[in-house]
With several copies, the nearest count.
Chain A
Amino acid sequence: MSYKTEELLAVCIARLIRARPTRHIAVGAASPIPAAAAWLCVKQGDPLHLSLLHKRSGNPFTDGSRELFDLTGQGRIDLFFLGGGQIDGQANINLIGTGAWPGLEVRFPGSFGSAFMYYMSGRTILFREEHSPRVLVDRVDHISAPGTSEPGVFRRGHAQALVTGRCVFDFHPDRGRFSLASYHAGESVESIRAMTGFEFDVPEGVGETVPPSDAELALLRGAVCDEMLETYPDFCARVFERKAAA
């Protein structure tokens, strides 16, 4: 079955979720692909608790907007998603901007909860669809949240992986480096290297990303889309070609 890039990425992320024990995932507002991935795991039968932020009806938090951070501080969030205007080879992320502080060249919106969530979640999947030397840089201009921490700093988790429109990288907090896990159809180790501003390891035998199965695609376009229509109408219309009933 043919598929869209968004569907491939959702399936990549779902596999990363299922690769480790996961009870509770929080997904931010601007993240329809991670949300689709998390729903896919639920629809595949995983006993997952999802907290979808900014969901208008059934917002999961009754203690105000601090509850997500308290919940994560308590160690109850096993997995969070973060992106970055820039992401570097040590998994540092920059949501501040480029040029002098505080982003005098290009200003991004800001760091949101990253300087806490990245440390306090059980693990983080980094996600950025654009894969270019502009985004994946050797060294971020500013660190919103660091990929690793010095001893003496309480840190519960790190990046598990970085998923982009071209490939999946695994992150190794012990050595503070990414390794290529797989490249998507149409890419190669060389094309990934050419489009990546940071150095990364290439394990032997690395190959193409396994494409979505028919079962995965059927779930995405059916039961997953059903759950997402209210919160992400544009995404569902564009990717799954479905509209919410008026």
Chain B
Amino acid sequence: MTPMSLAAMAASIPDGAMVALPPDNSIPSVALAKALIRRRARGLRLVGVPISGFATDILIGAGCVAEVNTSAVTLGEAGFAPRFSAALKAGTLVVRDATCPAMHTMLQAAEKGVPFMPLRGLIGSDILANRPDWMVIESPFGTGEKITLLPALHPDVAVFHAVMADSAGNVWVGRRRECATIAHASQRSLVTVERVVEGNFLEDERLCPGAINATYISGIAIAERGAQPSALLDEYGFDTDYVMAYARAAKTEAGFAEWCAEHVFDNQAVAAE
């Protein structure tokens, strides 16, 4: 698989696409999120896996997002996600609140090719009351248990960062297996990587368990430190200072615009080459 440019990858995601995006502890492709801002994507429907973080907040701030289906949007230690909160208040964003295992369950239903899967909990929560797409039944096994069925969620595109790709187009995400689930559940998977290496991870018993088969991967782009400010396994850590600075700047729309001009658009020439 020949790597593509970040810009071409961003261009291949149409406006309005449903995009599964893991949060800060789960190797999001912040590089691709920034490229989506540069291509001025609109109407994206983001899926938190199972929550949403920094990449989601900057996409919202830049006006790329119509809807978020997620269990939380947070900057972690840096506090509430400012552009998410502002967009909700302004009424320019729809949030479909869920709970973490519900996001996993809906994606696993898509992974398994079944139309729905059950999940315990939920009943009595206002989350459920606000999800007309979720359905409570009495168990058909005669136990009298009430249980919620969640429909399969099929994102158009899974977007994440990986440590590396191999010659065959397999990508290596280590223990971040939720990235495998979204790759399985989604129509296409677009993956940024630190580097491309020779060989085939599937033929290496040590690397194979952390690999995702190329059969699920639609495109690869090289983006060094492409998860930053999020962490990438043992390659680099979470950049708290960067996110703290973002959180302060993005408190206002003007502050966000300034941050974005500096941190998203000024880097364009470099990132797209």
Q: How far is the CA of A51 from the CA of B127 in the complex (A)?
A: 27
Question: Count the A residues whose beta carbon is within 8 Å of the partner chain — how many?
Answer: 56
Q: How far is the CA of A146 from the CA of B123 in the complex (A)?
A: 8
Tell me how far the C-beta of A96 lies from the nearest C-beta in chain B, rounded to whole angstroms: 6
- Could you tell me if B120 and A120 are in contact, using CB atoms closer than 8 angstroms? yes
- Could you tell me if B180 and A116 are in contact, using CB atoms closer than 8 angstroms? no
Given contacts A64-B180, A142-B126, A146-B125, contact A73 B120 (CB under 8 A): yes
Tell me how far the C-beta of A94 lies from the nearest C-beta in chain B, rounded to whole angstroms: 8
Q: How far is the CA of A145 from the CA of B97 in the complex (A)?
A: 13
A1 at the interface (CB under 8 A from B): no
Given contacts A59-B175, A64-B175, A115-B99, contact A70 B88 (CB under 8 A): no
Contact with B along A29-64 (1 / 0, CB 8 A): 110000000000000000001010010111111111
Closest to B99 in A: A115
Residue numbers in A under 8 Å from B121 (CB-CB): 115-120, 145
Residue numbers in B under 8 Å from A115 (CB-CB): 99, 102, 121-122, 125, 127-128
Closest to A95 in B: B72
- Could you tell me if B202 and A60 are in contact, using CB atoms closer than 8 angstroms? yes
B198 at the interface (CB under 8 A from A): no
Tell me how far the C-beta of B107 lies from the nearest C-beta in chain A, rounded to whole angstroms: 9
Given contacts A24-B215, A111-B72, A154-B147, contact A66 B101 (CB under 8 A): yes
Residue numbers in A under 8 Å from B111 (CB-CB): 70, 73-74
- Could you tell me if B101 and A113 are in contact, using CB atoms closer than 8 angstroms? yes
Residue numbers in B under 8 Å from A74 (CB-CB): 110-111, 113, 184-185
Tell me how far the C-beta of A71 lies from the nearest C-beta in chain B, rounded to whole angstroms: 7
Q: How far is the CA of A29 from the CA of B99 in the complex (A)?
A: 16
Segment at the interface with B among A5-13, A98-106, A164-172, A200-208: A98-106
Residue numbers in B under 8 Å from A73 (CB-CB): 101, 111-114, 120
Tell me how far the C-beta of A30 lies from the nearest C-beta in chain B, rounded to whole angstroms: 7
Segment at the interface with A among B7-15, B32-40, B206-214, B259-267: B206-214
A150 at the interface (CB under 8 A from B): yes
- Could you tell me if B76 and A69 are in contact, using CB atoms closer than 8 angstroms? no
- Could you tell me if A62 and B213 are in contact, using CB atoms closer than 8 angstroms? yes
- Could you tell me if B88 and A102 are in contact, using CB atoms closer than 8 angstroms? yes
Near B by CB (< 8 A), chain A positions 105-151 give: 107-120, 142-146, 149-150
Residue numbers in A under 8 Å from B80 (CB-CB): 107-109
Near B by CB (< 8 A), chain A positions 146-198 give: 146, 149-150, 152-154
B228 at the interface (CB under 8 A from A): no
Q: How far is the CA of A111 from the CA of B70 in the complex (A)?
A: 9
Please name the 7 residue pairs, one residue from A and one from B, whose CB atoms are nearest each other, closest first: A73-B113, A110-B72, A64-B177, A116-B121, A69-B101, A115-B99, A146-B124
Q: A96-B126, A110-B73, A144-B125 are in contact. List 11 more A-B contacts (CB 8 A).
A: A49-B215, A58-B202, A59-B175, A62-B208, A64-B176, A66-B108, A70-B112, A73-B114, A102-B95, A112-B99, A152-B145
Query: Which chain B residues have a beta carbon within 8 Å of chain A's beta carbons?
Result: 25-26, 49-51, 70-74, 76-77, 80-81, 84-85, 88-89, 95, 97-102, 104, 108, 110-115, 119-128, 130, 138, 144-147, 175-181, 184-185, 200, 202-203, 208-213, 215, 231, 234, 237-238
